[in-house]
Every structure is written in C-alpha cells, then in structure tokens.
Amino acid sequence: MAATRAYLDYNASAPLIAEARAAMVAALDAANPSSVHTEGRASRRLVEDARRDVARLVNAKPEHVVFTSGATEAASTLLGPDWQMGRGSIRMSHLYVSATDHPCILNGGRFAPAQVTKIGVDRNGIADLDALSAALAAHDKTAGLPLVAIHAANNETGVVQPVGRIGEIVKAAGGVLVVDAVQAAGRIPLDMSVPYADYLILSSHKIGGPKGVGAIVAASDLMMPRPLVNGGGQEKGHRAGTENVAGIAGFGAAARAALAGLDDVDAVSRRRDGIEAIVTELAPDAEIFGNGALRLANTTFFAIPGVKAETAQIAFDLAGVALSAGSACSSGKVGPSHVLKAMGHGESLGALRVSIGRATGAEDIEAFRAALAGIVARRAGKEEAA
C-alpha cells in the first residue's frame, strides 16, 4: 500500500478543514445555548455567528436558516404533506422528484409511495422539463399543492440541473420547490435572493465541515413543514433538541471558507480536466458520463469496458488512491447505479467517481494515473489470455 494516500472522494465527504477543526475545538466546552446566563449567551453567539456564515454562502437571511443533524434529516423534514402557514395549515398532496436524485429525496420522506412521481432524465442526466410541466399540469390542485424536489448537482455525475428554469415551471404551476444543494454548495454560486428555490438543503461535511450537521435554508418564513423532531422548541420550533454547538461552529467556519473558495473553481476544473485526459489516454474506450452537460468542476464519473467498478475501486485503494464506485451514501452498499440506469446506460459493470477539491495536488493526480495504468494493463493481459 502506498505510504502517502491520495484522497479523491470529496463528494462522499470533504476532508475537515483546519478552520472548521479550530472552531469546533474552541466550542467543545460551550454551554447550552438556550441558557440565559453569561455562558449560555456566549454559546448562543457561536450558533448565531455560524447561522450568518451559512446564510452568506447562499445569500439568504440568517433567520431563515434551520440547523439539522444533516441533509437526510433536512430532506425528511421538508418532504412531508403537512405544512404550517402562520397559525394555519396547508397541504402538499403529491411529491415530484427526479429519477437521479439522492436516495434521501427519492425515498419520498413522509409521503406514501403512491404520492411520489419520478420525472425521467435524458442521457446526460438532465431532468425532462416537458415531463415535469406535463405532470404539474395534471396535478389535482383541489387535493393540495404540488411539491417538487430536485438536486442542484448530481452526487455521482456532477451534472448541474437547470434549477432556474425548473423554478419557473414550478412557480407557474403554483407549486413549491425544494432544491438539494448538498453537492452544489461551495462549488457553484447559490443565491436565495433570486426567486427559483423555496428551500435549500445543505450538508456541512460536503464543504469541509464536520459530519452530523446540515441545514434547511428557506426563501422566507411564510411557510414551513411541520417539524420532524418535536420537543423544546429550538430553532424557532422547526427542529427541537439542544443545538450541536461545536458541529454548528465548524459548519459556519467551513461555509466561510467555501464562499471564499468559489474563486478557485477554474483551477479545480483544470485539475478535473487533467484527470479525464488521463482516463482517455490510458483507456480510449472509456465513457465519461454527463460530459455533454454542465457539470461541477470537481467531478468525473467514468466507466471502462471490461473493468468492473468495484474491483477497480479495490485496486485503487490498494494503490493508495481513495475514490468511489458511485455514491458512498448507502453504508457501503454495492450495486448498479440508479443514476446510470435512469440515464439509459443500463446495467453496466458500474462506474468510478473521482471527486476533488481545492487541496487536490499534482501528486494526487499522478497517483491516480499510476493506479489506473496498472488496472488498464491488467485488463489488456486478460484480453490477451482470452
């Protein structure tokens, strides 16, 4: 095994950045932020400072940020039929999702399976907007409002959805739009002042913060889902439970760094392009998925004929390179990619995902090249033996 490892799996979890680690250590002894004494008020300041930092990342109002234990909890909270508007209630009667969404969206949250419709995608993974428009046009508004949930950027392919256009379609149909911005945050600009999404879902550990912290960001406080977690009324009653002060402080620090890091997107894109050049040089028959659409600058998802993704992932790991065979969000589960299947690529041998960050260096890319060269050479040997 290599003495120094190359970490190329940022979409699974970005390494904890130094600023987030320092903020967490400083907050480990924080008091309960709901306490009114001096120590409690100091803890509350840590939470509210982080709330402002997370809001700035997506140009939202701090009071519209609700901290959760992660993106899955945020999705489970938002994807429900029962909502509050002031002292009244409002109902979402049906959920519309993309066939390539993350499982926490695809599973429908608190909706019954019969209340969830999947919208197909094209071969690049872009949602079928005509199909979405038709589905919303057929929605029975007497039963309640339509709720649409879709990712801003795909966690496997990096393909970026046209959320502005999707927002226009949803608004024209009188619906509500939830955007899963977990992979997009810190990698493309997000602006809640532009009226496209009603709610964003964010995750701390995808931007270099700690695991176990996420957020719901609302465009306004006019309407919110009924809480998933009830209790002491924290987060203005939207998410009960004593706040994870250290985790939230780390999230805030990561959000500050991610906002500043948007200036480095072009450099990250050049590194990604270099990785793809290596793939096509060593394996000219490789297929890079979603490269006909706008993608995140840090992500490439590719398959090499005759190379099983899970076997290649193990070979990369033994060579000191960490990457994924698809998504890493299913507790190590190995199986065909639902994303590739929805894109019309069938039950292939699978694909490998390389996802990088600002800290990815030339030595990491060279380690990838060396490992891939060995894998391709073994494929050639098997073909000759056959």
- Residues marked active site are found at 329
Q: Which residue's entry shows tokens 């190590």?
A: 332
- Distance CA(352)–CA(288), nearest Å, equals 10
What is the residue-wise DSSP string for 277-304? HHHHHH-TT-EETTTTS-B-TTEEEEE-
Hey, what's the torsion of the CAs at 109, 110, 115, 121, to 10 degrees?
Answer: -10
- Distance CA(236)–CA(57), nearest Å, equals 21
- Buried b / exposed e over 152-168, threshold 16 CB at 10 Å, is bbbbbbbbbbbbeebbe
- Distance CA(362)–CA(359), nearest Å, equals 10
E-strand ranges in the chain read 6-7, 65-68, 82-85, 88-98, 116-119, 145-151, 176-180, 199-203, 214-218, 223-225, 287-288, 299-303, 321-322, 352-355
Helix (H, G, I), strand (E, B) or coil at 84: strand
- Distance CA(287)–CA(27), nearest Å, equals 46
- Distance CA(256)–CA(52), nearest Å, equals 10
- Distance CA(166)–CA(153), nearest Å, equals 13
The alpha carbon dihedral of 130, 131, 132, 133 has a sign of: positive
What are the residues whose beta carbons fall under 8 Å from the beta carbon of 220, sequence distance 6 or more?
64
**Count helices and strands in the chain by DSSP H and E runs:** 11, 14
What are the residues whose beta carbons fall under 8 Å from the beta carbon of 188, sequence distance 6 or more?
152, 153, 160, 262, 265, 296
The alpha carbon dihedral of 38, 43, 46, 49 has a sign of: negative
> Residue 241 — left, alpha, or beta (φ > 0 → left; ψ -120 to 50 → alpha)?
left
- Distance CA(82)–CA(214), nearest Å, equals 22
